[in-house]
Structure 1
Amino acid sequence: MASRKKRSTILGGVILFLFLSGIFFSQTQPFIKLSVKDYPTLSRVIIESSFPISFDIEKSSSLLMVNISTDVPFRIQRGAFESRIIKSFGWSKGKDFYILAIRTKVRNFSYDYFTLSDPPKL
């Protein structure tokens, strides 16, 4: 009986630790949030970050690649979306960069971008 109580106390402690550390790490780890919004004549991809980012953009056929220079690990957040122009998102992490790949449904698309600073958005 004492052994069962000890095991349940240890198990409860482990669950509590995992829960609290999940809350702590989710609040402190920087994030990049990807979202899409369709308008009648265009689709807008919004890249939001928990702090300012340095980036370059490169277009190749039906792909738009956003290279983010950073040595900080990000948590990537992406919700489900439906778009007439945007097909999918992908990402890859290197030693000091992330590459966000935005695949479109069309080859001959044009793009433009602007940034906001509070919160940081591209």
Structure 2
Amino acid sequence: MANIGRGPPQPLDAAAKTVKVKVTFVGAELTENNHVGNEWWYEGYVNGKAIEEGSSRTLSLKTTDKITLKGEAQEQDKIPEDGEGSVSVKASAVTKTITKSVQVAVTENRGRYSGDTATWTFTFKIEKAK
């Protein structure tokens, strides 16, 4: 059967536009500590990859893709407690500079302060890359 007059077959989905987005891990702050501990490790992540505090990463994404920001904190003792949190932003939503915060709660797991929590706030800046 000939395909006369209809042109080449077209894909069902239109190709998504590509955008460049710059994500900066501004920093992490221990905003509340109710007897959880004093020695901490923490890390920020952009789309599953660790990023240094104060550093930026430029991503080439489809407008339909999501940017996942994650924070992880761990109180360092014999039996460490840890917590993590994340938030996602659609790449198409980055029309201006956006600041996103990720809240991370760490709960003490032993001793007389068992059940008490510490809260970390991880701050990320997302903007269109130039």
TM above 0.5, one fold? no
TM-score, with length taken from structure 2: 0.32
Please state which structure has a larger fraction of its residues in helix.
1
Which structure has the larger Rg? 2
Please state which structure has a larger fraction of its residues in strand.
2
TM-score, with length taken from structure 1: 0.33
